[in-house]
Amino acid sequence: MDSWNRAIMDKYCKEYDVGIVAFMPTQEDSLHGAELTGSGLRIHTNLALQDAELNPDSPVLRIARAGETLRGPVPGDVHTVFVHNHSSYRPVVTASPRHPEMFGGRYRRLTLVVQDCGYHDGIRRVLFGTGPDFWLSRVLLLDSMSYLSHGQLAHPLDRLIMVDVDDIFVGRSGIRMKPDDVQAMLDSQSRLRQLVPGFTFNLGFCGKMLHTGSEEENAGDDALLAAADQFWWFPHIWSHKQPHTFGNFSEIVHQMTLNKQFAEEHHLQVQHQYAVAPHHSGVYPVNNRLYDAWREVWDIRQTSTEEYPHLYPAVQRRGFVYKGVRVLPRQTCGLFTHTIFIDKYPGGRQALDDKIQGGEIFQTMLNNPMSIFMTHLSNYGNDRLGLYTFESAARFVSCWTHLRLRTEPPDRLADQYFQRFPEQRDPVWGNPCRDRRHLSLWRMAEDAAVCQRFPRLLVLGPQKTGSTALFTFLGLHPTLLASRPSPDTFEEVQFFNGNNYLNGIDWYLNFFPVPNNDSVYLFEKSATYFDSDVVPKRVHFLLPDVKLVAILISPAARAYSWYQHQRAHQLSAALRYSFYEVVSATNQSERSLRQLRNRCLEPGKYASHLEIWLRHFPPSQLLLMEGDQLKDDPVQVMQKVQEFLQVVPIVDYSRLIEYDEEKGFYCQVLAGSGHTKCLGSGKGRHYEPMEEQASQFLKRFYFSHNIKLNKLLKRTGKAVPPWLVQELSNVPGG
């Protein structure tokens, strides 16, 4: 860092007591005995080290537990060490040189991670001479953040883990559990409870597969049933068939009912309202039949999946709630149906041990407050890799960390998960066509053209800017195909805002026709999208490439049109109060008046809403249309829209729309008849001009918003509409 920036950063850190975590370069040859500027701390790079040890007296340690020496080479090829003789520096991790002759044999222990107490320059630091290849540095990174922030960046040490053993009766003969495997599982469960209070294997069953192994394996099934009350149980589908492949709802219900009868017959304790579907099918992408059947047959309230929003990257897995079922994120642990024997484990025993000892499994427990691991029947027969994995992982965690592992039943797990992450409750739907796994689990993929059914254009509104006229004109184009009208929401689909979103994307796509060729361009208009804060993120998640059109007219004119619209719909507040009384209502005014005021004023804060859209979409995907031009010269406007959409063919709209004297607006030309078809009486109303008092009030009200809009338009290279130029040309008084 150059000295100027460095000085600013140091000043900032000193003034606000902000600590620094830094990772030193490890490979550079040249840095031997180099002093870190003005610190009295020297570094030596490019060293091979072994036998790392945590300093038990280091106050940095919080998750990390000092005690054992990590025998053997320190992971990562080479490292950097710190040499110091000032009381400001204290070792956090030390290690020995791998070649004793290093430094002429002077140092037996070298400092690999150092704490700087800040006595030199008032800045507290933790400096790492090792990188993320060494698993301990990930633990120490969390500890350093917690230490330097005085605990503000620290999460509780509790870690909930649950191990699902899926398909407990599903598996070909030769890989199933035998009676002594069941006993080993019970013994392991007891041992695990010493390290993980409450630990109980959670067994998932498909009743149809009972007794489908060899004689000894069938005896294993019986042993499991005999020990049923020692475990937790959760249902699958009776025949292990994937829910998205069922033809209808009653078929799923029937399968679940058979499994339920099986559970009753064998006294399986299915008490936590938890279920899992084969291969995540129906859980995500969501299949409403599965969720409805779960609720109907079992009253299921929680499930888990690895697929939301995607399998990878694992750290981004999340939960959500759909139809009252809480979907928890699930983790992988390197055990799959085919991982049966240690010598056949991909990468050999070392690979599994690495996962446990600081690798994937350890990191999963470290980074997630709650982890649900999925394993299978086959991991508990033969080499019993499931037992080995979890016992070893629990031991490793308790040896190297102060994390408090615990198991809670799935219903309590779900309670805690969504208490901790309430913002995850609302799902954000992705496009299954962009994830091969999702596509293979999606019921709608039966329709080979389903991926062409997503809209490529959204008209966002806002309301009363001419959005219906634009929607109608777009629909006259031969390759632009509109969504079907929704009977519930004034013809608009209104999917991305409000509760419709919770119906899922299958519901949404059913509003779109199946295109009969590739050039078809589907579109939708919901004028409520523009000013809803949640919509841009949701749209981006589902339709990242979609083109967006928003129409801007003077926000005051928009507000007035909305007011007139409400009067025409006999809204009592609009009939009782003048427009001025509405827009100037205060927060002490009655509720219905405040609500009307907000609907009049809020959408017109254009810049604030557009900023949210621009957080998710580049300006090139957004067309801002001049509403006045749409009214006065729609032929020209439609030319621009077609260019923006790059749609073919480019159509001359002067043949499709013309000015209708009677209506006072442009209307659709009815081919061959010489007549026009105009929008209904609710569009293009005749009303008194706005009262002067209201007009002055709104000039002042929108002034600052309009200034922001002007800046935004300039910043994004968009044209400034004439109404805005005019609004900004005279600064309102008072």
Q: Give residue 441's identity as a one-letter amino acid code.
A: L
Residues 659, 666 contacting (CB under 8 angstroms): yes
| Residues 269-308 interacting with ligand A3P (rule: CB under 6 A) | none
Q: Of 183, 244, 174, which is closest to residue 212 (Cα–Cα)?
A: 174
Q: Which is nearer to ligand A3P, 405 or 630 (CB)?
A: 630
User: HSE on the CB side for 360, CA within 13 Å?
Assistant: 13
Q: Which is nearer to ligand A3P, 341 or 687 (CB)?
A: 687
464, 605, 631, 699: the active-site residue: 464
Q: Which is nearer to ligand A3P, 77 or 652 (CB)?
A: 652
As a whole number of angstroms, the distance between CA 446 and CA 559 comes to 46
CA angle, corner 106, sides to 100 and 108, nearest 5?
55
| Residues 630-689 interacting with ligand A3P (rule: CB under 6 A) | 630-631, 665-666, 679, 683-685
Residues 115, 54 contacting (CB under 8 angstroms): no
Residues 177, 214 contacting (CB under 8 angstroms): no
> 185: which 2 tokens?
């599982």
Q: Which is nearer to ligand A3P, 353 or 628 (CB)?
A: 628
* 464 catalytic per annotation: yes
Say whether residue 567 binds ligand A3P (CB under 6 A): no
Say whether residue 564 binds ligand A3P (CB under 6 A): yes
As a whole number of angstroms, the distance between CA 522 and CA 524 comes to 7
Q: Which is nearer to ligand A3P, 513 or 664 (CB)?
A: 664
Measured from the CB of residue 630, what is the shortest distance to ligand A3P in angstroms? 6
Measured from the CB of residue 599, what is the shortest distance to ligand A3P in angstroms? 13
Residues 140, 60 contacting (CB under 8 angstroms): yes
Classify residue 65 by burial, with Cβ atoms within 10 Å: 0-12, 13-18, 19+. middle
CA angle, corner 628, sides to 495 and 595, nearest 5?
50
| Cα first-last separation, the chain | 50
Strands (E), 292-448: 302-305, 320-322, 325-329, 370-376, 404-406
- Number of residues located near ligand A3P, criterion CB under 6 A: 18
Q: Which is nearer to ligand A3P, 377 or 549 (CB)?
A: 549
Measured from the CB of residue 700, what is the shortest distance to ligand A3P in angstroms? 22
Binds ligand A3P by CB under 6 A, chosen from 527, 542, 625, 669: 527
Residue 263, sorted as left (phi over 0), alpha (psi -120 to 50) or beta, turns out to be: alpha
Binds ligand A3P by CB under 6 A, chosen from 561, 566, 642, 676: 561
Residues 44, 31 contacting (CB under 8 angstroms): yes
Measured from the CB of residue 376, what is the shortest distance to ligand A3P in angstroms? 55
Measured from the CB of residue 526, what is the shortest distance to ligand A3P in angstroms? 11
Measured from the CB of residue 483, what is the shortest distance to ligand A3P in angstroms? 16
Q: Which is nearer to ligand A3P, 404 or 683 (CB)?
A: 683
As a whole number of angstroms, the distance between CA 567 and CA 663 comes to 20
Measured from the CB of residue 467, what is the shortest distance to ligand A3P in angstroms? 3
Binding characters for ligand A3P, 447-476, by CB under 6 A (x = yes) = ----------------xxxxxxx-------
Q: Which is nearer to ligand A3P, 189 or 668 (CB)?
A: 668
Measured from the CB of residue 679, what is the shortest distance to ligand A3P in angstroms? 4
Long-range contacts from 418-427, C-beta under 8 angstroms, 24+ separation: 418/319, 418/321, 418/326, 420/369, 420/370, 421/318, 421/319, 424/318, 424/319, 424/320, 425/319, 425/320, 425/321, 426/320, 426/321, 426/502, 426/534, 427/286, 427/308, 427/320, 427/321, 427/322, 427/502
Say whether residue 120 binds ligand A3P (CB under 6 A): no
Reduced to 3 states (helix: H, G, I; strand: E, B; else coil), residue 489 is coil
Binding characters for ligand A3P, 90-109, by CB under 6 A (x = yes) = --------------------
Classify residue 57 by burial, with Cβ atoms within 10 Å: 0-12, 13-18, 19+. exposed
Interface ranges with ligand A3P (CB under 6 A): 463-469, 527, 561, 564, 630-631, 665-666, 679, 683-685
- Mind telling me the catalytic residues? 464
